Amino acid sequence: MDFSIKPFDAKTGLAGFKSGCIAVGVFEDKKLSQAAQALDRKGQIAAALKSGDITGKPGSTLLLRGLDGIAAERILLVGLGADTELSDKTFVTALQATAKAFSSIGSADAAIALPLDQVKKRDTAWAIRCAILAVRDAEYRYSVTKSEKEPPARGVKKIAFLSAGADAAAKNVIAQGIALANGVDLAKELGNLPPNICTPTYLANTAKQLGKDFGFGVEVLERKQLEALKMGSFLSVTKGSDEPPKFIVIKHMGGKAKEAPIVLVGKGITFDTGGISLKPGANMDEMKYDMCGAASVLGTFRAIGEMNLKLNVIGVIPTCENMPSGRASKPGDIVTSMSGQTIEILNTDAEGRLILCDALTYVERFKPAAVVDIATLTGACVTALGHHNTGLFTRHDDDHDGLADELLTAGKVSGDTAWRMPIEDAYQEQLKSNFADMANIGGPPGGSITAACFLERYTRKYLWAHLDIAGTAWKSGAAKGATGRPVPLLTTFLLNRANGNGKKAA
């Protein structure tokens, strides 16, 4: 898909702009947007709205052909809701409807003349990025493992954003939007691949390829190196699998030489049977998505590499399978983490925290400005927040409150939202063990919180936040597939840091 900013002639206006289709907005109270008014030379658009052919409700559409005095072949009317103030949610709904309509019309090119600059508390750059993501999401097709590849959408291949003048800033926004969409697509593709293909080795090779493509430093630690580092917790999860574990470190050092990096840690369980604490068979196939934290880190690096982001960012991905066998860890086993803390494994299906805790200890060596871990960690988070918001956990003090605010803001701006959950000492009591420093589960009450409390014990030497994406990383049912979240949130967070809108190390 090709995106561009195109000016139109001030004399002829939109009416003289030649295109296969122009998308313009209409409102529920039968009012036309400014662009729609400019195209309604013979009252045909107003008549369609008045007749009820389109309601103007958010996401409603109507395609008109051959309007008198209009150079464009088609005009797509897109509902924008009530003519009061245009909310970001309403506008995104309109963009998604536009993208869907563009994917099925018989034209190779189209233009968007929706009111990009009239969304409440948003700017034109935000609207353009949202439009690119909406179009690319509608265009995405998974076909890697299909014998007959799905044909690409037959509709629009070139989209122009209409403006009175195209400036360099607007073109840069398009480049950023495309880079972000490419990162989201990579995260989706990795998540959707079957677990016999997307193994720990496959993730490691993907990181190496990104390193070649964008100049990242990439290091992959093997089992012997993990043993030398005394990562007993991580290695305990790998024992039941024949697939070798990998510990991936990927570096984008685009900032100042001595500037402390942001570190992203992604959970990479490429398939999770639950181990000896075996999961129910129904829907177990979806446990291929248990590496979506890792996928989001790689997708984010794909995006920031293409943007050439002026920031130091390090990605750390512990990745393995969690399988049952005669070698697998058992409930009741006690392991020693890299930090030296001992853990009683009461449930082998609470394995994500066991691989993350060693990764969170490992990243101390980078003296990070902040660490954010991303994991499909708990079903309890899905119960708490459903599939709309990612769970955000961090300590409660001024510095961590600031980091939480940065991440929440990035989520709101990108539409990839998160909701802050508590971490309090009272929950730590549930992790007590009679036989080790801690247990790996704290029982059903507050399960997502106690999981975060477990991780928190390994992060006290730096600024840290945890994103539980169990409810947002993929969809089930007829729409089954990875969502690419939280690549938009993470990328926006890093962009804000690079632009000086977040806390940066001196």
DSSP conformation letters of 286-328: GGGGGGHHHHHHHHHHHHHHHHT-SSEEEEEEEEEEE--STTS
86: Cα separation from own chain's centroid: 25
Query: Is 353 among the catalytic positions?
Result: yes
Confidence at residue 366, expressed as pLDDT on a 0 to 100 scale: 98
Upstream peptide bond of 486 is cis (omega within 30 degrees of 0): yes
Q: Of 274, 273, 270, which Cα lies nearest the Cα of 288?
A: 270
**Which CB contacts under 8 angstroms, 24+ apart, belong to 434-439?**
435/334, 435/344, 436/334, 436/342, 436/343, 436/344, 437/341, 437/342, 437/343, 438/341, 438/342, 438/343, 438/344, 439/343, 439/344, 439/346
Q: Which of 100, 157, 158, 279 is catalytic?
A: 279
Are the CB atoms for 109 and 3 separated by under 8 Å? no
- Three-state SS sequence of 417-458: CEEEECCCHHHHHHHCCCCCCEECCCCCCCHHHHHHHHHHCC
Interior/surface letters 28-56, b for 16+ CB within 10 angstroms, e for the rest: beebbbebbebbbeeebbbebbeeeebbb
Which CATH number describes the domain made up of 2-162?
Answer: 3.40.220.10
Interior/surface letters 163-187, b for 16+ CB within 10 angstroms, e for the rest: beebeeebeebbebbbbbbbbbbbb
The span from the CA of 136 to the CA of 315, in Å, is 25
Q: Is the pTM of this model over 0.85?
A: yes
> Which residue shows structure tokens 């002639």?
9
The span from the CA of 241 to the CA of 310, in Å, is 40
Confidence at residue 500, expressed as pLDDT on a 0 to 100 scale: 87
Q: Which helix (H) or strand (E) holds 138?
A: helix 124-139
Structure token digits, residue 209 = 């390829």
- For residue 490, give Cα distances in angstroms to 303, 415, 468: 10, 12, 13
Q: Which of 74, 302, 353, 497 is catalytic?
A: 353
Are the CB atoms for 78 and 98 separated by under 8 Å? yes
The span from the CA of 485 to the CA of 181, in Å, is 11
> Which residue shows structure tokens 């290695």?
235
Confidence at residue 153, expressed as pLDDT on a 0 to 100 scale: 65
Q: Of 460, 452, 223, 232, which Cα lies nearest the Cα of 344?
A: 232
SS3 content of the chain, % helix, strand, coil (to 5): 40, 20, 40
Domain edges within the chain? 2-162, 181-498
Residues lower than pLDDT 70 in the chain: 9-12, 152-153, 164-168, 502-506
Which CATH number describes the domain made up of 181-498?
Answer: 3.40.630.10
Give the E-state strand segments of 176-307 in sequence order. 217-221, 246-253, 262-266, 268-272
Confidence at residue 505, expressed as pLDDT on a 0 to 100 scale: 35
- Three-state SS sequence of 365-386: HHCCCEEEEEECCCHHHHHHHC
